[in-house]
Every structure is written in C-alpha cells, then in structure tokens.
Structure 1
C-alpha cells in the first residue's frame, strides 16, 4: 500500500532518504525553502570519506587548546561573542572527545562509513552521475617528519582495525603526483578507498532528478509550518497545503528549531565553513584532492575551478560571514600551488550540523507517531547521505536496516 511521506530538507541526506522511500512504494514529497542541494550540501571538499571512520574530535591537549585560543589559525576560528551560547555544546563535545570515549564512538560510527561508497555507487549509477565521480582517493601532505610519521602510524592502525588502504608517499612521490605543488614537504599519505566529487551540488541535483523520475515530487515550503493533523502531518507549500501520514526532518543545521517547536531538545551545534574557487595560474594542474595537513586548508580540482576550503568556524549559524580563515588559507595556498584569480563574486559559507558525541541522529521521534529524524552529520553529510537514506527508509517500511543504527537514535538526547 502506498503511504504519503513528507521529507523536509533537500540536501544530500533528505534527497537520498526521499529516493529510498520512493523506491519502497511510498509517495514522497520533498520540501525545502530552496532548490535541492543549495545549502550545506552545496559547499564542501567533495569527498566521500570511506576512510573517515574516526569523527573529528575536540582537541584534548592543553598546548593545542592554548594555540587555538589565539584565534589566528586556518583550521579553526571562533566568534568571541558567540562563545557563551556555545559553551554547553563545546563542553559536551570536549567530554566525548576523550581518548577512550572517542574510540568507542569510532567503533559505533564505522558501520555507517563502511557503506558510504557502495550506497553512493548505487545512486550514482541509477542517476547517471558517473561523470561527476573520481575514484582515486585523496591525499594529505606533510611539512614535518613528525607529523608525517604520526599520520603514517595512525593510517596503519586504521588499516588493521577497519581494513582501509593507503599509500605512504615520500617527497619524490609527491613531486611525481603533483608537479605544480611547491614548498618543502616531507611526504604524503594517499587514501585509496574514498571517492571524490567534481561538483557536490551537481551530484545532489542528479539524485533529485532520479527521485523525480521515480514519481517523487519536489515542493517549496517552510518547515515552520509543519504540524500534526489528526494521525498525520500537515504543512504549507507554495502549491498549497500538504498532508501526509509521516514526516522526515532532514533539515541539517535548521533541525534544532523544527524539533524544538515539537518539544525536543537536541544539543545541535554548528561548524561553519567557507570555500572559494580559483583559476589555476598559467598551465598549472592539480591532480588530487589535497589537504595541507599542518595548515588546515584543502585544495580540490572541481569542475568550476580549484576549490579552496577552510576548517571550522564556531559562530552563530546565521551570523554575517567572516571569511578570515579563507583569507589566511589563500595566502598560504598561493605559496603551495599557483592559484590565479578568484572565480566567485564572494566566498561561499555553509553550516555543518554537529552533535556533541559526533554521531548523527537517525531514527523515530521518541514522542510523536509518524515523525522521523535524519540530521547531525557534521563533516560527513555528503559521505553519509545515501546510507542514511537507506537505513532510515528500511526502518520506516518495516525492513531490517542494513546495519544496527541504535547508536544513532534520537532517544540518546531525548529519552
């Protein structure tokens, strides 16, 4: 029997969820204020991070925290005026990042990451988006022997525990792989399992077109209008009122507002990030998605140009842009790779939705019939969109999910 579902949020997580529900016989309407993929899913490094089994933790060492306190780095920046409102989240984030707790979280997180490539492959093939995908991994480059050796050791550990594959590179290997990268780099590490995406927004758009080819529908509307209607859910769209038996909230950094109106209290923080595209100078070519590990910026050869991305900015979600990290990163990146002119009229900024235990929220709302959650994917929204969509659709339709998703349940924050 067909049952109507509203999926609120048309980023990579929402679009993927809508696809998997539509495949299972549900009639799905995907709703967003903007077109699919135009918010957080629009800008990132374009990696499907199969190697990312260890989520990004909060630094534990006092010396590192002191260095961050000066607020002059590329990989992290904060708004001083926003800190009072974020202290509770940051304190819980720091607590969960303790070495032992972080190890437990990584083991619970790994099954999602394990299926990231296979589930993207399913949707890439179905949507005809193969031209947007590169399957040759990505690369970290190191300026010091100490950093290089520590990362090699960590890669060996991840290989033993999670079956990941990588190449340890010396300076000659780097020169061969990236002849236009300049500077004194002691080596690199090339992760072989991940895929990269030439246009993340284009990939989400391709998935959206596939969803519509299955009979799904997209509508423009505001999540603030969602409310219970009898045994189901109702909201307003530009096409008029919309009613369904079930609703999925896949609203990324806006999920905290929608869930708060329904009586839930999720400790959802945001890490803002920026990007800018550049033309390569002269005949320079960047072959690999590349992280300057000790400076904290990323260079990615996208369809639009060389994309420079920054680390995390801790600020209010809707505060005005302050792209100081991008300016710092550009100055260093120009010394590393011959970047030409900027190609975007202004820096792009987006907000990653983060939980203090670094795992997403996936599952049934504890206190509402027919309401489901899929948000909080932090740095791995693009990576985890398809596998999240699959396991949630399986749960909603009475199938046994591909993996045990109990660790990601909403009830861990809202009993």
Structure 2
C-alpha cells in the first residue's frame, strides 16, 4: 500500500502528528509494534504542564552533586554500571544546565508550552474525549518552611516572566482543598492553569480513533524493517510512502542511528504502581511531594504513585528501588490501600542533553522527519508538536518558531 507519510510510533507524539497530517489532506499510516498508548504514554503522571516552562536542569552546586552522588536520594537514582556509557550525555546535560543557557532553553521551551492546553483541548473535543481532561490543576506540597519559600520564589518568577498561574496555600487552605492529606503539611503551591488526564492511555487511544475516523490507517510493524525510500513491512503488508516521521520516543535512535545520525538521546526511567484508597479517602488533585520526589494522582485505575528519575540504560532490567523507598512516605501523606497492580510498571522518558525535543526535517535524507526527545513533557507537548510537524511538512505557517528544535543544533 502507498501512503503520503508513515508515522513511526503510536504514542502521544506520533498519534498527534498523524492526526494533524491527516487533517491537512495527507494519507497517513501509523506503525508501531504495540497498540496506541501502550508504552511511555501509558505510564506518565497525567499532567498537561502549562507551568513546566523551565526543564529540569542537571545539578550544578557541589552540595547538590554530593547529595545525588550517594545514590540514596528518593527523586533520582543511577545504575553505576551505566555511567561509562551515559557520561558523555551527562556532561552535555551539565553544560546546558548553566543558568544562562538554561534560561535561553526555557524561553524556547515556552513557545511550545504556551499552546499545550489549547492544543490538547482542541484534539480532545474533536475526539470526543474532553471528559478525560480535568481543569483543577495540581499541587506541590511542603513540610518545611525553607523549601516552601524557595518554591514560592520560583513560582513568582514563572508568573512574572511567563504568566504561569498559581495560588499559595497555607496548611488550612490545603486541608480545605484536600482534606485527606497529612496534617503535617505546612502549605502548598496550586498550579491552576495546568490540566490533568485521568487515563493517559485512554486519551491517546481516543486520539487514535479520531485519526482513523479521518481516514488514517494503523498497522502493527517493526521499525527495524524501514528502508530509505520509504518502505517497510507490517503484519499485513508492505507499506510505501514519500515521507516518514520518527516519533518513537526512547526507541527513536534505533532508526536515526541506522541512517547515520548521532542524535544524543538518553532515557530517564520511571516507575509507577496503583493503589486503592483506604476508609473512603479521596484524592482530588495530583500531588507532588517536593521533598521526597514522587507524585500521587487520582487515575481511573486507582491512586497512581509515580517515582522520580532513574538514570540507566534503556533496556536494562527493572530496579524499582525508588518505588519501594517512597511508598511508606506516600502512605503517610495519603491513606493508600492495597496495591492494584501485580508488579511495578516501568517506562523511559526520552531526553536530549539540552532538554528540548528534536522536531523538524533530517538534514541528509529527503522525506525524513523527526519528532522525539520530549523528556518529562511528552504528554504535555504531544499535540502542539503534532501541529508543528504537520505545518512544517505541508509548508504552512507554523504555530511557533521551529528553529530551536532542529536536529542540526547537535553535531549529527
């Protein structure tokens, strides 16, 4: 079968690219080894983070570096055996995290972030999935005055420079908003302009059904069979197209490296587990325990407990030590009941060293387009990335300047 475009990857980014291309008159085939939303897009925290303008930087101070070097921090762990391979990436990550460079990166990132909620809402409305989006925002909670003051200062800066909306909550106001949280909390930040997805996989699959309603086609296949031209095999038949979009998240380098591109891509692994709520307790907002590096969120399957960062190789075995470490703390924060899942879920966040996604054409192959590397913000930036890629491919006016996201910023 012949199509105009093959999209490799059926996560939130790939499906969003496919929807926007199909809307603009392209005949599109989406190919993945699994059904839509089965990998990284399934296991995230469910936040559409309009406040996450500033990507998470690498620690710069000696105090912070020593803190994480002990490998006991709840929010970040590492596999020692992976460090030799990860070291070049981490050095670049450290370099880009210098305050001046990081500020420039935040300004570029903001051009995508400012459209994240409106683009999700537009897709969700068209897909009949608005019921999965909740407008209550999310909460960062504090146990110490010093950490609270630092977080309030950061929020004020985000508000002044980027218009991020938030409320500060003292202990009483927090308990009025979330009465079942621990009384030991002294206050919180409530980010009000962000939205929450109660079932990220269901949202991706709703967007995928919308794509098919527009005339798009879904296939099961292995991206390793892709040949320049562009031609690849699926379970059903051989597919040919004039162009291909690589939107495979943490697996994108399997295609780009085969084609001769050295895109610096690493993963930050994360884990989650679902729990019931005890004694009729109810969680109304996603809640981040800032000092202990985890989040709990009221998902359709139960209360989802998600961990921070694990630096390791993408395909190494699961080591959910962070989940084990933070579960007792989370039970003190909120009355979690029995585990719902048989075992912890693990996923990989695809990251670039400058904390920005790779979006745009590949320089040495006609018809090859890239859309990956969104780090912690894949769900947030998926729809606006899909719109930007489709506009670039069809020569339309773009929703933002694509320059900061071009792959040529790296030596590929």
Correspondences of 1:375-390 after superposition (within 5 Å): 375-390=372-387
What CA distance in whole angstroms lies between the structure 2 residues aligned with 1:370 and 1:249? 11
Deviation at 1:201, TM superposition (A): 0.4
1:205-239 deviation per Cα after TM superposition (whole angstroms, max 9, x unaligned): 0000000000000001111111113xxx0001001
Correspondences of 1:388-399 after superposition (within 5 Å): 388-399=385-396
Correspondences of 1:137-216 after superposition (within 5 Å): 137-216=137-216
Tell me if the contact between 1:275 and 1:348 (Cα under 8 Å) persists in the aligned partners.
yes
Deviation at 1:182, TM superposition (A): 1.2
1:107-140 deviation per Cα after TM superposition (whole angstroms, max 9, x unaligned): 1110100000010011010001111111011000
Ranges in structure 2 where 5+ consecutive residues have no aligned partner: none
| 1:71 counterpart SS class | coil
Match of 2:269 among 243, 252, 272: 272
Query: For residue 413 of structure 1, what is the aligned residue in structure 2?
Result: 410
The two structures, once aligned, show a CA RMSD in angstroms of 1.0
Correspondences of 1:100-139 after superposition (within 5 Å): 100-139=100-139
Query: For residue 351 of structure 1, what is the aligned residue in structure 2?
Result: 348
What CA distance in whole angstroms lies between the structure 2 residues aligned with 1:88 and 1:276? 32
What CA distance in whole angstroms lies between the structure 2 residues aligned with 1:69 and 1:294? 17
Query: For residue 61 of structure 2, what is the aligned residue in structure 1?
Result: 61
Correspondences of 1:210-249 after superposition (within 5 Å): 210-229=210-229, 233-249=230-246
Tell me if the contact between 1:183 and 1:335 (Cα under 8 Å) persists in the aligned partners.
no
Tell me if the contact between 2:175 and 2:183 (Cα under 8 Å) persists in the aligned partners.
no
Tell me if the contact between 2:79 and 2:312 (Cα under 8 Å) persists in the aligned partners.
yes
The alignment covers a number of residue pairs equal to 411
Query: For residue 21 of structure 1, what is the aligned residue in structure 2?
Result: 21
Match of 2:251 among 251, 254, 260: 254
1:168-206 deviation per Cα after TM superposition (whole angstroms, max 9, x unaligned): 000111111111111422210000110000000010000
Deviation at 1:336, TM superposition (A): 1.1
Query: For residue 99 of structure 1, what is the aligned residue in structure 2?
Result: 99
Tell me if the contact between 2:3 and 2:240 (Cα under 8 Å) persists in the aligned partners.
no
Deviation at 1:70, TM superposition (A): 1.3
Tell me if the contact between 1:361 and 1:374 (Cα under 8 Å) persists in the aligned partners.
yes
Ranges in structure 1 where 5+ consecutive residues have no aligned partner: none
What CA distance in whole angstroms lies between the structure 1 residues aligned with 2:118 and 2:153? 27
Tell me if the contact between 2:359 and 2:402 (Cα under 8 Å) persists in the aligned partners.
yes
1:279-304 deviation per Cα after TM superposition (whole angstroms, max 9, x unaligned): 00111111111000111110100111
Deviation at 1:414, TM superposition (A): 3.8
What CA distance in whole angstroms lies between the structure 1 residues aligned with 2:68 and 2:411? 32
What CA distance in whole angstroms lies between the structure 2 residues aligned with 1:164 and 1:63? 29
1:337-371 deviation per Cα after TM superposition (whole angstroms, max 9, x unaligned): 10000000110000000000000000000100001
Deviation at 1:390, TM superposition (A): 0.1
What CA distance in whole angstroms lies between the structure 1 residues aligned with 2:145 and 2:358? 39
Residue 361 (structure 1) aligned with residue 369 (structure 2) = no
What CA distance in whole angstroms lies between the structure 2 residues aligned with 1:373 and 1:344? 34
What CA distance in whole angstroms lies between the structure 2 residues aligned with 1:303 and 1:291? 18
Residue 80 (structure 1) aligned with residue 80 (structure 2) = yes
4+ residue segments displaced more than 2 Å: none
What CA distance in whole angstroms lies between the structure 2 residues aligned with 1:55 and 1:294? 18
TM-score (norm 1): 0.98
Going from structure 1 to structure 2, the CA distance change for 1:254 and 1:74 (only over 3 Å counts) comes to: same
What CA distance in whole angstroms lies between the structure 1 residues aligned with 2:134 and 2:325? 29
Query: For residue 280 of structure 2, what is the aligned residue in structure 1?
Result: 283
TM-score (norm 2): 0.99
| 1:148 counterpart SS class | helix
Tell me if the contact between 1:366 and 1:414 (Cα under 8 Å) persists in the aligned partners.
no
What CA distance in whole angstroms lies between the structure 2 residues aligned with 1:109 and 1:284? 37
| 1:382 counterpart SS class | helix
